[in-house]
Structure formats: structure tokens, C-alpha cells
Amino acid sequence: MNPSSRLLKTVQLMLSIGAIFAAGLWVGSSRNKPAVNTPPALSTTRGVSTQEKAAEQQALQTKRRLNTASIAALFQVEEAIAEELLKEYEMVREQHRQLTRDGMPENDPRDVTTFYIQSLGKRAEANPILQRWLAGRPGSFIGESLWGESAIRRREKGALPDFLLAGKYGSSGTGFFVSPDGWLVTNAHVVGQRQQVDIRGVHGLIQTVRVVKADAKADLALLKCDSPSPGFLDVRGEDLPLGTRVFTIGFPNIDTQGVQAKFTEGSISSLAGWRDDPNDYQISVPLQQGNSGGALVDTNTGLLAGVVISSLAPSMADNVGYAIKASVLARLIRSTPECAGISLPAYQASSRDRAENIDRANKSSVMVLVR
């Protein structure tokens, strides 16, 4: 048995006696919208005890071990190589953080993805352990495998993944990238009274993100990840006509349905939401717990049409959901100075086909994990 397999089995055995992961936050409560289920209340802010600090430190260490295991499986390498890759990635992430927070915009990398690929490649080529593993390959191979066009995609199999047990997350939802440099969107009620917000995207790594702005009235939250986005969606500023085909990709009921992204499709049923709210669409896209905060995408153009927020219970109506219009999100982005770099392109028909639009939305979507 190779070291990465032993690590995964050891962590699984160690964590299997832990508490069962609670199902994710559902939709609608903060805007008085209908919700299928009422989510459990998040814990309120309070003094942090020594025991809580120790538990938090242990959770962080466990998350790092699981990220090491994910990298080992992703590149099919031994644990020692995976640890070096994670260490160099963390150094690049810190370098990027310092450049973007030094108060000198001229130092900010113009292309975040290129910065990560090149910087990680150079560090790997200078690392004696990784240099032997690369065996003459350019170090850029590593970043290209994570963020490039030919990025390796992991597929989870088997029982409940260890990261759900290890993270001790209290709720979950869906989010999506809206820029190449790590800006994300989800519902404000998904992040709630958070202590820590993590995301997990197509590459399988768990990353902690910052909540830059949470607008409870609009039920939208803007988050920032320090790593580049594997994909992103352009925010459409114009409303869509009745009957437009739309879809969403999200992470519903992850403790039972699994952690792979789920696709559902339908149409815009009404140009107004709950009690004729003009800021929302009514949609026929099937929604379940955990779809909150997911992107509603125009099937024809691939542009962002809205943000999934809620669904009526089946006892009230079949297949009735709601999504915040992208125009509402566009206004929030324009009113947030930190988001000045997010592009809000004028509407234009896309040449991408349906399959390409779905693939792009999938790369843009993330699982949001809150503790």
C-alpha cells in the first residue's frame, strides 16, 4: 500500500468515530422567502476557550493533512512529494497576499493565474526534492495541472469523504467565481454568522476565503479567495425574457448525494419572485438543500442570469424555485470598491455551445463550507 493510501485510510479510521456531518443550510430565511426546511441556527459569537482553540488548531492541521492527501492522489505521488508541493503553494499564496496588500496597486500581478503557475513552477524547480520528481519537466506543469486548461479533475468515490468529518462544518451551500482572480458570490444566509468559510472546487483542495461583504437585504455575499479561479462566469446586467432556458450547478445534500457537482435545468417561469418581488425570478429548475448560492446560468449564452436562493416545499407547489436577478448582483458589485476589477460586460450573444457553457459553469462552481 503506498503512503498516500495509508494516510487516507488512517485519517478515515481516526475520524470515523466523529460526529455525523450536519446537512447544509437551505434557502430563504433572511429575506422572508419560503424555505423547504429551517436550517439549524449557527452558534453566536462568544469568548473562545482554550479547548476551543485547541480544537480549531486540530481542525486546521487535519485540513492540511487532507489537502496533502488530495495532492498525493491528484499527482499520484508519495506523501513527501505532496507535502513539498503544498508547502511551495502556501509560499506562493503568501507572496501573492503580500503583493496585493502592500498598498501599491502597481505591484499587483496582472494575471493571477499566470502568476501562480509561474511562481509555483520556479519554486518547484528550485526545490531539490521536487526537482528530482520533475525529472526535467518544467515546473509550470504543476500549476497547469491545477488551474490550466488541461487541469486534472479528481472524482470522489466511496463513503462520506473525510474532509466533511474533519472540518466540523456546521452548514454548507454553493458559490461560484465571477472573476479570474478569485472573487466569489454566494447567499448571505449561506455564510451566516460564520467563524470560518472554506470552499472546495473542481481541483478538490479546501481553501479558506474572506467574506468581504454580506448584504442581508439582498441575500448576497461577496467572498475573496487568494488563489486564481479555475473558471468564472460573466455577470449579465440585463434581465432575461420569460421562458429563457436556464440551469444551475450546485452541491445539494452532500452528506447523502455526494460531493460531486449536480446539474439541473429548467426555464424562467416568471419575471417576479415571491409575492411579485421584482428583484427575483421564479424558475422551474429543480432545487434542493445545498443549492443555495449557486449560479443560475443562461443556457444559450453562458452568462450569469441570477443567484439561486429558495424553493417552495413540494406540499405547496411542484418544482417552484427562486433566484436573485444578476442585475441585483451587478449593483452590489458596483457599490463595493474592492470589486472594481470585476468585469461587468455589456450583453452580447455567445458563440459557445450548451456543452461548453455547462463545462465553464462547472469549473466556476464551488462547495461552500461554513464553521
Looking at residue 121, what is its pLDDT?
A: 94
| pLDDT grade for 187, boundaries at 50, 70 and 90 | very high
Cell numbers of 317, please? 407547489
Domain boundary among the residues 124, 150, 168 is at 168
Q: Are residues 220 and 368 in the same domain?
A: yes
CB 81 within 8 A of CB 2: no
Statement: residue 26 has pLDDT above 70: no
| pLDDT grade for 344, boundaries at 50, 70 and 90 | confident
Q: Is residue 6 part of a domain?
A: yes
Q: Are residues 101 and 76 in the same domain?
A: yes
| pLDDT grade for 167, boundaries at 50, 70 and 90 | low
Reported as a single tens digit per residue, the pLDDT across 54-82 is 767 777 777 788 788 888 888 889 999 99
Statement: residue 297 has pLDDT above 90: yes
Statement: residue 202 has pLDDT above 80: yes
Q: Are residues 205 and 162 in the same domain?
A: no
Q: Which amino acid is at 11?
A: V
Q: Are residues 262 and 192 in the same domain?
A: yes
Q: Is residue 29 part of a domain?
A: no
Q: Is residue 188 part of a domain?
A: yes
Q: Are residues 224 and 346 in the same domain?
A: yes
Statement: residue 176 has pLDDT above 50: yes
Domain boundary among the residues 118, 134, 168 is at 168
Looking at residue 276, what is its pLDDT?
A: 93
Q: Are residues 4 and 141 in the same domain?
A: yes
The whole-model pTM stands at: 0.71
Q: Which amino acid is at 121?
A: G
Domain boundary among the residues 153, 168, 183 is at 168
Q: Is residue 37 part of a domain?
A: no
CB 81 within 8 A of CB 129: yes
Q: Are residues 176 and 68 in the same domain?
A: no
Looking at residue 32, what is its pLDDT?
A: 52
Q: Is residue 150 part of a domain?
A: yes
| pLDDT grade for 7, boundaries at 50, 70 and 90 | very low
Looking at residue 64, what is its pLDDT?
A: 80
Looking at residue 34, what is its pLDDT?
A: 52
Q: Which amino acid is at 209?
A: V
Number of domains the chain contains: 2
Kindly state the DSSP code that residue 33 receives in the 8-state scheme: -
Q: Are residues 267 and 369 in the same domain?
A: yes
Query: Distance between CA 362 and CA 232 in Å, rounded?
Result: 9
Looking at residue 317, what is its pLDDT?
A: 79
Rounded percentage of the chain residues whose pLDDT exceeds 70: 80
178: domain CATH number is 2.40.10.120
Looking at residue 159, what is its pLDDT?
A: 61
Query: Distance between CA 209 and CA 196 in Å, rounded?
Result: 8
Q: Is residue 217 part of a domain?
A: yes
Which letter, b or e, does each residue of 192-221 get, where b requires 16 or more Cβ atoms within 10 Å of its Cβ?
bebebbbbbbbbbbbbebebebbbeebbbb
Name which of 84-88, 132-136, 335-339, 340-344 the model is least confident about.
340-344
Q: Is residue 361 part of a domain?
A: yes
Q: Are residues 145 and 231 in the same domain?
A: no
Q: What domain range is 66 assigned to?
A: 1-15+47-168
> Rounded mean pLDDT of 29-56?
49
Phi and psi at 284, nearest 5°, equal: -100, 15
Q: Are residues 243 and 95 in the same domain?
A: no
> Rounded mean pLDDT of 306-328?
89
Q: What average pLDDT does the structure give for the chain?
A: 81
Name which of 74-83, 202-211, 224-233, 338-347 the model is least confident about.
338-347
Reported as a single tens digit per residue, the pLDDT across 10-22 is 334 333 323 323 3
Q: Is residue 61 part of a domain?
A: yes
Q: Are residues 160 and 179 in the same domain?
A: no
Kindly state the DSSP code that residue 203 receives in the 8-state scheme: T
Q: Are residues 173 and 318 in the same domain?
A: yes
